[in-house]
Structure 1
Amino acid sequence: MRISTAQYYETSAANYQKNFSNAIKSGEEASSLVRVKTAADDPVGAARLLQLGQQASLLDQYKANSNSIKASLGQAESVMTSINNVLDRAKQLAVGAGSAGYTNADRQANAAELGQIEEQLLSLMNSQDENGKYLFGGSKDDVPPFSRNSDGTYSYNGDQSSLKLPVGDTMMMAANSTGWDVFQQALNTSRSQVTMTSPVVDDGRVSLSNGQMTNSGTYNSQFRGGEPYTVSFVSGTQLQILDGSGNDVTAEASKGGVIGTSPNQTVSFRGVDLNLNINLKSGDVAGTVLPGHSFTLASKPDTFNVARSPGNPSMTQVSAASVTDPVAYNSTFPSGSAVLKFTSATNFDLYAAPLTADSKPVSSGVVGPGNIATAAGVSFTLTGAPSPAANDQFSVAVNTHETQNILDTVSQLKNALNTPTDGDVLATQKQLADLASGMANLASGVDQLSIGISSIGGRGSALATQNEINESLAAANVTTRSAISDSDPAEVMTRLTLQQTMLQASQLAFSKITQLGLFNKV
């Protein structure tokens, strides 16, 4: 086969350019030791490197999230530990105040310190991080989670949302602990209420405390189903308990309802311990003076805290709220909290909180006689202005008494110790019952706080384990990426030397062959 001189030159130039390009590329690879710079270098390897790069970015984000969660958990744990120490001091004050040698002045001194503890707790529970965000407000971290109501009780203004961040491919972790979980869900052991029904004027001979819940399961499954109960004294040594349907359930009481004639007795009934004090006067015969004393026993009714919205057009206030239709209340009223909104001076709607653009009223009505607005079985008494105005709103918080936060517990203990009792047997007995109730609720609050601290510890342990996994994945990622993209120095230098040698050889061959023309022989 014959080739022309032009074809030869073109072929030689193309081969030279190819060899030169390969040598340049190998030189750059030898300089950077990076084998895959573009997808053209290794399509499969480039795709794998892209996946590994995305994984590396995720692992970096997981690390940042883990550091953020670790810092948040550390702050929350530090605050909870401080709260636990403060509550321990409150417990010491309550126990000390129950001593027989304490006077009114001693108890009031303890009450003053409990007041300081109350303020300290409120400050700690409204703690903020370095960015000014409230630690225990849930997703509503821009407002103080706890506030004092006008009646001295406390409300939780946050929500129950946990701020979760990804710390692994299949793992999300809460970066916060909500005040609802840590402080609001402590079981209230003082959920029952005793009211004397006979005699009309208390003669002081029989004192029966509100009771202390000792078993929440029995209380919910048995006690709640039979209330209200009637507790009557039928003789000097026997009491009788009738349930709401009139059935005699005395057999379920401790000792079958048999009592003594001394103070400080305990009557246990369906998960509730009642403190009974018999205070016979000189010359009294128990069998004569005790019959005729009777009490009602039931769970404390739900109470409401109603707050006027700051932007209301009128100055109308809600001065009182109470359940007037139990059936409608139990079936209709929103659980937790609600919003009462007026559409005119007389018409109103009740919504479940929070109120949004899509909210639909659960009850509607018209203001009735006495300026009373009744919605979903609850009557609200309106005062402070001739009439409400359109767009007036009121936030309604419901207290079912099933749980109680530690602020309310400390406040109740403070109030109990501020009550003078020296020389008053009945007042002393009531104060001791209130102290027992407060200490039980204090223990319940500490238990709930301990659960919160344990939750932080568990998340911290899980986070440490996940971080170890992420670090192993990150190390494997770096190794795999290096294996795909990095060059072998010995191999690339050998290849570069070979290509340079081939380039020099092709240059020499081209030079020699161009001298073989016929004209060079003439």
Structure 2
Amino acid sequence: MRVSTSHVYNTGLNSMLDQQTKLSTTQLQLAAGKRIIKPSDDPIGSGIALSIKQLIQTSEQFVSNGQTGQTKLEVVESSLASVTDILNRSRDLVLQGSNGTLSGQDRRSLALEIESRLQELVSLANTQTASGDYIFSGFATNVAPYTRDIAGNFIYNGDQGKQFVDVNSSLEVQTNFSGSELFSDVPTGNGTFQTLGSSSNQGTGVISGGSVLDNSAYVPDTYTVTFLNNASGVLSYQVDGATTGQLIPALPGVPLTDAPRYVEGANIEFGGIQFSISGIPQVGDTFTVESSNSQDIFTTLQQVIDGLRSSDASPTLQAQMADQLNNGLINLDQALGHIDEGRSAVGTRLNVIESEQSINANIIVQAESSLSLVEDLDYASAITDLNKQSVALQAAQQSFVQIQGLSLFQFIR
């Protein structure tokens, strides 16, 4: 078979170019430290590497989200810890103020400190992040959550928006609280009902906070305890519900003849609840038992401030002050419990983020290891290939030079 000179020439040239391409590819791999430079180098491996890179990118985003959420929640926790300190200190001061041996000036001094604590409390409720966002305003992060109107009422200006961060593909963690759920929606009294003495009472009676004996028997209503002298001239009491009607004495009993005698400090029980009254009420004095409602912690502090500043010029006024301070202590305890619940929720969320951060970090490490196996270069093998390819290229070049010199005319010569 006749082989043309051009065929011989092209064969030699193609061999030389093929070796040059292999050598260049190996040089690029060594320079990059990667086995796969372009998808065509290993289509299957490239697809696997792309999937692994996407997993790493997603996990890194989850880590970043977690760090953002952690920072926000740590600011919340720090603020709530300070709120707890303020409430505890205020509670201690109210207990001091409840001591009957203190003078009016002493109580006013205590009120002055609590007033300072109240200002701190409002400032904490208006805490901002380093970037200037208010952390207790919901979505309205550019609005101060709490202000005070001209009448002295505390106004919540934020919304109920909840902010979340994704810490894995199926889990999101809330990173904020609205001010209303932490500072405003605090139950009064014992959480079921609250007790109040009338400001027009003339005796020295002081009502306790009371407790629930049987939730299933309790009927929410506004109950009034009224003191009267029975037919024998003995101080007694009757209990009437605004909607449930007369409860004590039970119908068909008549208060004048059947109302129970008042015993100082003895429990008064009805409808699954109990409470007591100390001191000596006067005929016509009334006490109210009504369902708990919500009250912000700022108003609670203001009420104990007002109580400490109230007059104690008579036994009646002393009883009214004691009643106000007792209610203040009960509401402060509710506020402390409410803030503790918030701090527990923060702690739980931080624990979840910490756990997911660890999981995501491990995923990244494992994924990077897998990616290395797929696309990283075996340097020893690549250097060996480089040497072989260099020798092969030199051989191809020499062969091409020799082939160029071959022709029939040279053979004849």
TM-score (norm 2): 0.85
The correspondence of residues 98-137 of structure 1 with structure 2, limited to 5 A, is 98-137=98-137
Instruction: Name the counterpart of 1:461.
Output: 351
Aligned residues of 2:248 and 2:259 also touching (Cα < 8 A): no
Which moves more between the two structures, 136-145 or 173-182? 173-182
Aligned residues of 1:213 and 1:272 also touching (Cα < 8 A): yes
Which of 232, 238, 241 aligns to 1:240? It is 238
Query: How many Å separate the matches in 1 of 2:392 and 2:203?
Result: 119
Instruction: Name the counterpart of 1:79.
Output: 79
Query: How many Å separate the matches in 1 of 2:68 and 2:62?
Result: 10
Q: CA 1:221 to 1:265, structure 2 compared with 1: closer, same or farther past 3 Å?
A: closer
Q: CA 1:203 to 1:492, structure 2 compared with 1: closer, same or farther past 3 Å?
A: closer
Query: How many Å separate the matches in 2 of 1:213 and 1:258?
Result: 19
Letter in 2 for 1:154: F
Aligned residues of 2:223 and 2:239 also touching (Cα < 8 A): no
Q: CA 1:246 to 1:464, structure 2 compared with 1: closer, same or farther past 3 Å?
A: closer
Aligned residues of 1:234 and 1:240 also touching (Cα < 8 A): no
Instruction: Name the counterpart of 1:412.
Output: 303
Give the total of aligned pairs: 398
Aligned residues of 2:204 and 2:319 also touching (Cα < 8 A): no
| Percent of residue pairs identical | 21
Q: Is residue 496 of structure 1 aligned with residue 386 of structure 2?
A: yes
Query: How many Å separate the matches in 2 of 1:180 and 1:216?
Result: 30
Q: CA deviation at 1:101?
A: 0.7
The structure showing larger relative contact order (alpha-carbon pairs under 8 Å, at least 6 residues apart) is: 2
Q: Is residue 471 of structure 1 aligned with residue 358 of structure 2?
A: no
Query: How many Å separate the matches in 2 of 1:23 and 1:65?
Result: 45
Q: CA deviation at 1:437?
A: 0.7
Q: CA 1:121 to 1:257, structure 2 compared with 1: closer, same or farther past 3 Å?
A: farther
Q: CA 1:134 to 1:205, structure 2 compared with 1: closer, same or farther past 3 Å?
A: closer
Q: Is residue 167 of structure 1 aligned with residue 167 of structure 2?
A: yes
Instruction: Name the counterpart of 1:273.
Output: 275
Q: CA deviation at 1:125?
A: 1.5
Which of 276, 287, 290 aligns to 1:299? It is 290
Letter in 1 for 2:83: I
Instruction: Name the counterpart of 1:333.
Output: none
Q: CA 1:502 to 1:249, structure 2 compared with 1: closer, same or farther past 3 Å?
A: farther
Q: CA deviation at 1:464?
A: 1.6
Q: CA deviation at 1:165?
A: 1.3
Q: Is residue 508 of structure 1 aligned with residue 395 of structure 2?
A: no
SS in structure 2 at match of 1:147: strand
SS in structure 2 at match of 1:165: strand
Aligned residues of 1:232 and 1:241 also touching (Cα < 8 A): no
The correspondence of residues 58-69 of structure 1 with structure 2, limited to 5 A, is 58-69=58-69
Q: CA deviation at 1:178?
A: 2.6
Letter in 2 for 1:246: G
Query: How many Å separate the matches in 2 of 1:59 and 1:506?
Result: 49
Aligned residues of 2:206 and 2:319 also touching (Cα < 8 A): no
CA offset digits 1:11-67 (Å, max 9, x no partner): 222222122111111122123221112211122222222222222222332232222
Q: Is residue 223 of structure 1 aligned with residue 219 of structure 2?
A: yes
Aligned residues of 2:184 and 2:295 also touching (Cα < 8 A): yes
Q: CA 1:152 to 1:203, structure 2 compared with 1: closer, same or farther past 3 Å?
A: closer
Query: How many Å separate the matches in 1 of 2:130 and 2:213?
Result: 40
Q: CA deviation at 1:461?
A: 1.9
Q: CA 1:221 to 1:40, structure 2 compared with 1: closer, same or farther past 3 Å?
A: farther
Query: How many Å separate the matches in 2 of 1:72 and 1:194?
Result: 40
Q: CA deviation at 1:485?
A: 1.5
Instruction: Name the counterpart of 1:38.
Output: 38
Q: CA 1:416 to 1:229, structure 2 compared with 1: closer, same or farther past 3 Å?
A: closer
TM-score (norm 1): 0.69
CA offset digits 1:306-335 (Å, max 9, x no partner): xxxxxxxxxxxxxxxxxxxxxxxxxxxxxx
CA offset digits 1:213-248 (Å, max 9, x no partner): 534983x97231x54556464733653334424353
Query: How many Å separate the matches in 2 of 1:221 and 1:163?
Result: 40
The correspondence of residues 117-196 of structure 1 with structure 2, limited to 5 A, is 117-189=117-189, 192=194
SS in structure 1 at match of 2:247: coil
Query: How many Å separate the matches in 2 of 1:250 and 1:478?
Result: 79
In structure 1, the gaps of 5 or more residues are 197-201, 281-289, 301-400
Query: How many Å separate the matches in 2 of 1:31 and 1:192?
Result: 78
The correspondence of residues 348-387 of structure 1 with structure 2, limited to 5 A, is none
Letter in 1 for 2:13: A
Aligned residues of 1:189 and 1:214 also touching (Cα < 8 A): no
Which of 205, 211, 214 aligns to 2:211? It is 214
Query: How many Å separate the matches in 1 of 2:91 and 2:394?
Result: 93
Q: CA deviation at 1:433?
A: 1.3
Q: CA deviation at 1:208?
A: 6.6
Aligned residues of 2:195 and 2:209 also touching (Cα < 8 A): no
SS in structure 2 at match of 1:167: strand
Query: How many Å separate the matches in 1 of 2:227 and 2:262?
Result: 15
Q: Is residue 402 of structure 1 aligned with residue 404 of structure 2?
A: no
Instruction: Name the counterpart of 1:346.
Output: none
Q: Which has the higher helix share?
A: 2
Q: CA 1:485 to 1:232, structure 2 compared with 1: closer, same or farther past 3 Å?
A: same
Q: CA 1:167 to 1:257, structure 2 compared with 1: closer, same or farther past 3 Å?
A: farther
Q: Which has the higher strand share?
A: 1
Q: CA 1:195 to 1:70, structure 2 compared with 1: closer, same or farther past 3 Å?
A: closer
CA offset digits 1:85-108 (Å, max 9, x no partner): 121211111001111211222222
Q: CA deviation at 1:412?
A: 0.3
Q: CA deviation at 1:487?
A: 1.0
SS in structure 2 at match of 1:40: helix
Q: CA deviation at 1:274?
A: 5.0
Aligned residues of 1:185 and 1:403 also touching (Cα < 8 A): yes
Instruction: Name the counterpart of 1:317.
Output: none
Query: How many Å separate the matches in 1 of 2:145 and 2:197?
Result: 35
Letter in 2 for 1:76: V
Q: CA 1:476 to 1:229, structure 2 compared with 1: closer, same or farther past 3 Å?
A: same
Q: CA deviation at 1:499?
A: 1.9
SS in structure 2 at match of 1:173: strand
